[in-house]
Every structure is written in C-alpha cells, then in structure tokens.
Structure 1
Amino acid sequence: MSTLTFYGAAQRVTGSCYLIRSGQQQILLECGMLQGENNNKKGGKGKKSTNKEESAPPFPFSVSEIDAVIISHAHLDHSGMLPLLAKQGYNGPIYMTLQTQALLPTMHKDAAFLQQKDAEWENKRRARAGKRAIEPLYDMDDVERELALCEGMAYGTVSEILPGIRLCFREAGHILGSAIVELWIEDKGETRKLVFSGDLGNSQAPLMRDPAVITEADLLLLESTYGNRDHQPLDQTLSEFSAALDAAAQSGGNVLIPYFAVGRTQDLIYHLGQLYHSGQLKQNNIFIDSPMATSISEIYEQNTRLFNKDDPEFREIMTHDWQQWLPILRFTRSVEESMALNKIAGGAIIIAGSGMCHGGRIRHHLKYNLWRKNTHLIIVGFQARGTLGRLLVDGVKKVKILGSEIAVKAQVHTLGGFSAHAGQSQLLAWAGHMRKAMPRLYLVHGESESMLALQKRFVEEYNWDASIPTLGEVIHF
C-alpha cells in the first residue's frame, strides 16, 4: 500500500511539500519555501519565518532516497527549496511544465541573490555581537545544479516517470505554467489515481485560462488559500482601481504599486492597457521597475498561446510585445534607470518590487514619495504581518525606510479583487466535478480558519467529508 506524508502546507499556506512512497520508490511532490509568518492552528500571531530557522536544513526525509520530484508551478512557496535539495545531493529528475521550466532560472537566481544578501546583513549583525557567521541556504552554483535536473513537460502529456508511475500536468490557471498534477500509481496489481490541485486560478483573472476540469480520482489534495471567502467582483475592483488613478492624476502626484513579479504584474499591464485603449488612463508614463519582472514579462510574451481567448484584440497585439499593447510602458533594468525615477515629481505610475514592501526597489520610491500628499499608493495583494506594506495598510503615520524616518502623507488604496487564487465558490465548483467519484479529500495550502470553512461547505453542498491533515501526518491509499 502506498503512503503520502504531509511535510508542508498543512494548516498553513506556504512551504508546500508532500512525500509519496510506493513500494521502494519515493516521489517528492513540491519542494516549497516557508514565507511570511507561521500559520499556526489558531491563526494567531506566529514567529516570522526566516531562512535560518524554519526553512533551514535538514529536510525531514532522506534526500538520497528520493527518486523523482514533481513541481506544480514556479512560485517559491512551491519550488523555492529545490536548489537546497540539489545542494544536499539530489541528482534525479525534477518534473514540471515547460513554462515553469522557463520561469525557474530567473526566480531561483533572484532567490539565491537574496539569500546571499540576507546572510551578509545577518553576519554583520552577528559579528558585532561576537556570534558565529552563517551561510546562505544555497548559492548560484546550487541553482545551476538544480536547473540541470529540470525536465519540462507539455500540458496533457502522460509520461511514465518511474516503473508503474505515470504523470500528467493540466492547466491550473494560477500563473503561467501552473499545473494540476495527475499521478497514477500501480501497487500490487491495482492502480490508484492521485490528483493535486496545485494553486487553482481565479476565473476572473484576465490572462490565464480557467483550471482544467478533472472528474475522477481516488485521492484529492485541494488547496484552500481562500477557502473561507469569495473575492470581490472584478468589475468593482477595476472601478476602484480606475478611481484611484484618476484621483492621482487630478492631484498631480505619482502612483506607486508594489508588485508581485509573476502573474500580478502582467495582469496589471493588461488592465492598464484596457484603460489606455478606452481613453480613461490620464497618466503618460508607466514604469515596471524590476529586472526580474521584466524577464518574467518577456517569458509571458513568448507564451501568449496559453492566454485566455476572451480578448482577441489583446491576443493579436500581444503577438508583438507588451509595449505594443501599452505604448506608454517602460521597463527599467539598471540601478541608474531606477534612481532616475525618483526625480519624477508627478504623473507617473511606478510598479516595483517587492509586493509587501519589505525589500526591493519599491522602498526607494516610497522614501521619495510617501511624504507627498499627492502621492497615491495602491496595494493590490496580501500584506503579511510585520511587513512595511501591512503597516501602511493599517494606517501608520511614520515609517523608517533605508535609515530615514518618513512621514506618511500619501493616500493608500487597498484593492482586494486581483487575487490569482480561486475563491471558496470556485474551489467548490472545481472539486464538485469529482463528486460522483467521491475521492478521499484532503485540504492543504490554507490557514486553519479557511480550511474549516471550506470543510463545512463541502458537507453542506455535497455531503462530502474533507480531512484537514496535520504536519507530519501519514495517510495510506
């Protein structure tokens, strides 16, 4: 009998990791990094996760015994520990979609760079305190070692990755390359099918297609990030977005938007392009201030065939590039180009990382703009406790940025409908296609309150019992 062990994303959102054992073979499904704060069972305040603590080695399993790795998509909470896996000796195949394989070099090299910078900063502090220095989790060599193991697969292709084990990826609609994982496992003459939802996309999102429909499984692992609520309707969010841009134009100030490089930035470019083509956009300059977001956007350009078909004009224009869709858009790669943006007193939209304002170029733009009454800061994503973004959303009056105390006089707008995750009703509808098969259902990748709410809805809607696993729990199937 095969087993599955929940090593991550059990009653928490990040750190996705599951180990499947079938006979003598072992498959690692996901190898994600913990991010933000702990998501404990009560949903209360947890200690902020750091690379040196919870994400640190060793893995809770023997790396040398893993035969294959499967990754659903490129986000770091699903793939970010792969370089460490390679560093610790893993040299087998890592399966993913072709698009995820294209995204990983940019994302993991950026992660390694940040690991190095974090270690340097921490070691300066440790040196002053007379403590031993630490090393980053992994470096560029480890990333290169990992990337050499990656094997991309096309959507819909069924491949035998190990004797008696077949794999197929289906579109999940979350970000480019995101996948639902189908896994058929033969054990003692019987075949069992495991389906892992990965992160399911929001059907309101403009670029990605809706998640593929799957009707049969013996075991279903379902994400539950927004298991306790539905998203605000997109039309309402877009109206709020347009109103905030209009207010900024009227006041003569700049618009700052902290970005999430994969998915969110590209969706924003699309929405801004719609406003531009309809004559509603009053700003004359839009800057994507990030080498990483620029590289990711270029990969999106190369995969427009996977975009939603609802906007044929956009698809036609995007056979060229983003700037054909939005002519006033500029990508800034160099530090010098980024610094030059700080001289712009008004009329610009600046989209820069990081999404929660805890690092990256957005901090420089906040330093030069937050104290201006005519600046408008638009928050388009979740802000974790303890981050600068969360402080600004909560209405703090002064913040310290890059060593300077800055008065917060900018207008802050928080928009809630741009999520790339399925909401509660969408999760129920997608899993509902399997209600005749009624597979064993486990809720993962969500905080406890989200899981409990979704668990209740499954009983109410389908009379279907959903289990909520604990970290380290082992199930047989």
Structure 2
Amino acid sequence: MHIKHHGAVKGVTGSCHQLFIDDTNSVLVDCGLFQGEDSKQDLAIDFDISTVKALIVTHCHIDHVGRIPYLLAAGFKGPIYTSIATAKLLPMVIEDALKVGVTRDEAVIRTCLKLLKQQIISLDYNTWYCIPVGVGLSPEKATSSNQNSLYKIRLQRAGHILGSAYVEIELGKRPNTHRVVFSGDLGAPYTPLLPTPKPPYRADTIVIESTYGDKNHQGRKERVAVLKKVIERAVSDNGVVLIPAFSIGRTQELLYEFEQLIHSARKRSMWHKLQIIVDSPMAANFTNEYLHFKALWDNEAKKRVKQGRHPLDFNQLHTIDSHQEHLALINFLASKQQPAIIIAASGMCNGGRIVNYLERFLPDKTTDVIFVGYQGRGTLGRDIQKYGPRGGYVFIDNQKVMIKAQVHTISGYSAHADQKGLINFVTGMRKKPSLIKIVHGDEQAKQALANELCTRLATATIKIP
C-alpha cells in the first residue's frame, strides 16, 4: 500500500490522492480543480489512471471535484462513490463548472453529465461497504459472510458542507488489516446547521487537511457578536455590504446566522428593515437542497424548525436569478443610498457575480467587504484582504480599482476546522495513526500542524508531501 498525491500539496486546492491497494489496483480520493496561484497548472489528467478502479468523492466543492470531467475525458469508467446528498449535488456543481470554465456546448455538457450520473453510486453514512477489487460497480454492505474482502470503505460525516464526508478505507484480510483515513475537509465545531465531525475509532494512516493548521477560530458567540457589530456599523452610512461566499456551505450558514440575528433583534430595529440578497442562482438551488436534506441538520437547527421558524427562508431574504436582474441590482444600489447585504459567489472572488460588485463598489467609502472564509494565494480575495486595509488597489479585468471600502475578516465563519479541531480529530481516535500525511494547506499551516502533532504523538511518523 502507498499513496500518491496529485494535488493539494503546494496549497489548498486541487485535492486528488491516489491510494494504491497493490501494483494493479488503486482508488482516487477526490479530483479537484486548482485555484489561485495553482490555477496555472494544466487541468488535463497527467498521471496514469490504468490502475484506478474507483473515485471516492468527499464533498462537492470545486477544489475537490472540478477535474472530474477531465478524468472522464481521460477514459475513467469506474464507479464514483459518495454520500447520498453529494450524489444529488455533484451533477449541479459539475454542470456549472463546465459552463463557467470549460464550454458552452450543450452537447458536450449533456454527454459529460450523462456519464457522470451513470457512474455515481451513493453510499449511506456510517456503513461499511465491501468492494471486490477490480470487479463490478456495485458495492455490497459488509456482513459476516464477506468480512474478508480486500477492500472496504465507510463514509462518516465531516461537518464541512451538506453531504461532506471523511473516508475510511480498510485494506487486507483480518486480522492483518490496514486502515487509511482521508479527512477531506473537516468542519469546524459549532458551525451552524451541521453536526461537528467525530473522530474515527482507528486509523493506521491518515491524510489530513491543514487549511487552518496554524490558526484557531473565534468561538461562536464571539463571531456572532463580531458579525452583528460589523453589519450594524456598515449599514449606518446606508452603504452596501458585500460578502463573498461559496454557493454551497458558507452561504447557507450565513443565512442561518442572519435569521437568528433578525429573530432576536428588537422590533422596528434596523435588522427588521435590512434586505439580505443572495445573488447566485447556484446558491439558491443549493439552499433548496439544504432544505430537502433537513435530516442531516444538527439538533439546534431542527429545534428551530419545530418552533415554526425558517432558518434558510425568511421574509427579508431575496434571491437574484438572471444576469439581467443582477446588473439591474448593481445599478439600483449604485444610484440609491440604501443599505443591503449582498452574498454572492465566488468565495475567493476569482470569478462569479461578486466580481462585478467589487469592481463597482470597492472605490466607495460607504462599502464594507466582509470575508468569512479562507482566501487562497493568488486570488482577488487575498489581494483585497491584503491591500484593502492599507488603502491600496487591486486589478479587476486588467483595470486598476482603488479600495476605499472597509475590509473585514471574520475567521470564525470558516467551514474548515482550525488547528485545535484538526488536532482533536487525530488525538481523539482510540487507536491512533502511525503515519500522518499533511496536505491541503499553505506551507506555514502544514508545518505548524506538523509541529503540534509531533508534540502529542511522539511515536507517529509525520510527513508533508
């Protein structure tokens, strides 16, 4: 058994890891798109896939699934295993990715989606599936009669976004099995809507993300208080508040928090007059899926629903669909002194409708930009985050745009576990890993996490690929 990494080793994007079961059989875990500085890399599959018998998808963020069309184009015909919710969301994400970044040819898009849907196989959480190496597409739930399968997988809730999972893969026959865990992206504790991920019982080898391996987030009460304070100050001058957010995950968490702030505010306060606008058809579609999969929500969210509240569908929430409506809204907000909160993709500002808002409103001193998620190196979001507080500038569509807007970062709203959460995930296992491979992070974050794990697991081998 060995693991090769085809992405997420020089930064936080392009997750793609190949687990070799033996010389002739391997599985891929994720096949993601490179973004930011990493986006200059060739997207074509540049490694041998002749041994790849299956793809396992941890969740459907683009940096974990965006290269799947290229994998299909390279001739991959095996099963794509993922959770039930991700199986529903994945075709939507891939269709959007194809239209935005690859082609507008409807025939090509239809062909790709047809192949994708034929190959997706959804798996229940917390259930072992036995998969005979190199045979067939259909997994079989583990029973006493097939416990000696050479290859078993189990998905566990990761708490990152709807449908997200970490993957347990057990190789070999009992009693000499070897268990490999791929963390995917782990959610932060006490985030809205989804339960906190629980560590697995055991791992012999773990491949773990390190996005925030060098940082700890604010507590939930603190970050809600900061969000409330920033919003109240931001709208006091009737300016626009721009929040770049990924269509799936962060957008829904923010809506959940805004509904609570409105619910708990005094009647006739500014919160009951404030318009919250989601300018993203994709985000609206994903929000509907969050509503469909209420069974996956945490206990707090389910309690609010029982109380007759609608955490993701409240009166002051408006969605913008067409591009024409999008442009009309920008013109309206530019001509009127009317406060509004705009949530739009992409989360790192490297495309999508948020870029049009930034181009128009960054030079306006009444504008506030709130970053609630990680901004990768080489992205427009990172540049605004870096140069905004200095009163600097950025380039958008090759045009110099001055930054007079106020720029805020609320790290507590990241959908990624922080250093403490990552360490607790590893050390919380009953049988701890002997090999830890740290990926999906900037060099400083990976090294900081490695140093902390070294102090707690002296017998483990820790590698940064």
Corresponding position: 1:459 with 2:446: no
2:85 pairs with 1:99: yes
Per-residue Cα deviation, 1:247-301 (whole angstroms, up to 9, x for no partner): 1332112211112111110010011001110126254311100111111111111
Distance 1:15 1:386, change over 3 A: closer
**What is residue 153 of structure 1 aligned with on the other side?**
123
Amino acid in structure 2 at the alignment position of 1:384: G
Q: Which residue among 304, 315, 322 is the counterpart of 1:314?
A: 304
> 1:34 and 1:391 mapped to 2: Cα distance?
18
Q: Which residue of 1 aligns with 2:142?
A: none
State the one-letter code of the partner of 1:433: G
**Any conservation in 1 of the 2:57–2:64 contact (CA below 8 Å)?**
yes
**What residue identity is the alignment partner of 2:453?**
F
Contact 1:455 1:466 in 2 (8 A): no
Q: Say if 2:189 is the partner of 1:196.
A: no
Give a deviation string over 1:293-315, Cα, whole Å, max 9, x none. Answer: 11111111111111111345423
User: SS at 1:251's partner residue?
Assistant: coil
Equivalent position amino acid for 1:56 in 2: L
Q: What residue is the counterpart of 2:194 in the other structure?
A: 208
CA RMSD of aligned residues (A): 2.5
Q: Distance in 2 between matches of 1:74 and 1:10?
A: 19
2:11 is matched with which residue? Answer: 12
Give the TM-score normalised by structure 1: 0.84
- Report the Cα offset of residue 463 of structure 1: 2.1
Q: 1:356: which partner in 2? A: 348
What letter corresponds to residue 154 of structure 1 in structure 2? D
Task: Report the AA paired with residue 59 of structure 1.
Answer: D
2:328 partner SS: helix
The aligned amino acid for 1:452 is: Q
Q: How far apart are 1:426 and its partner, in Å?
A: 1.2
> After the TM superposition, which residues 52-451 of structure 1 pair with which residues of structure 2 at under 5 Å, given as runs?
54-61=41-48, 63-116=49-102, 139=109, 141-163=111-133, 164-186=150-172, 190-279=176-265, 281=271, 283-316=273-306, 322-323=312-313, 326-342=314-330, 343-344=332-333, 345=336, 346-393=338-385, 394-395=387-388, 396-401=391-396, 406-434=401-429, 436-451=431-446
Q: 1:374 to 1:424 in 2, by over 3 A?
A: same
The worse-fitting range, judged by mean Cα deviation, of 259-268 and 444-453 is: 444-453
Report the count of equivalent residues.
435
Q: CA shift at 1:465, angstroms? A: 2.8
Q: Equivalent residue for 2:144?
A: none
| Amino-acid identity (%) | 34
Preserved CA contact (<8 Å) 2:158 2:166: yes
Which ranges in structure 2 are unaligned for 5 or more consecutive residues?
134-149
Once the two structures are superposed, residues 44-79 of structure 1 have per-residue CA deviations (whole angstroms, 9 ceiling, x without a partner) of xxxxx23xxx24324312x24321111111112222
Deviations 1:404-454 (A, max 9, x none): 655433222222211111111111111112364443222222222222222
> Take 1:454 and 1:101, find their aligned partners in 2: how far apart are those partners?
32
Label 1:457 to 1:190 Cα distance change in 2 as closer, same or farther (>3 A): same
User: What is the distance in 2 between the residues matched to 1:321 and 1:456?
Assistant: 40
Q: Secondary structure of the residue that 2:449 maps to in structure 1?
A: helix
Q: Distance in 2 between matches of 1:257 and 1:330?
A: 15
Change over 3 Å in CA distance of 1:36–1:463 after alignment to 2: same
8 Å CA contact 2:434, 2:460 repeated in 1 = no
Q: How far, CA to CA, are the matches of 1:146 and 1:319 in structure 2?
A: 37
Q: Deviations over 1:161-199 (max 9, x none)?
A: 224211110101111111111111126984222122221
Kept after mapping to 2: 8 A contact 1:254/1:350: yes
Closer/same/farther in 2, CA of residues 234 and 105 from structure 1, 3 Å limit: same
TM norm structure 2: 0.86
Structure 1 residues 199, 162: CA separation in 2 closer, same or farther (over 3 Å shift)? same
Matched residue type, 1:185: L
Structure 1 unmatched ranges of 5 or more: 39-48, 121-134, 471-477
Shift in alpha-carbon separation, 1:78–1:398, aligned structure 2, 3 A? closer
Q: Bigger relative contact order, structure 1 or 2, given CA contacts below 8 A and separation 6+? A: 1
1:430 aligns to what SS in structure 2?
Answer: helix
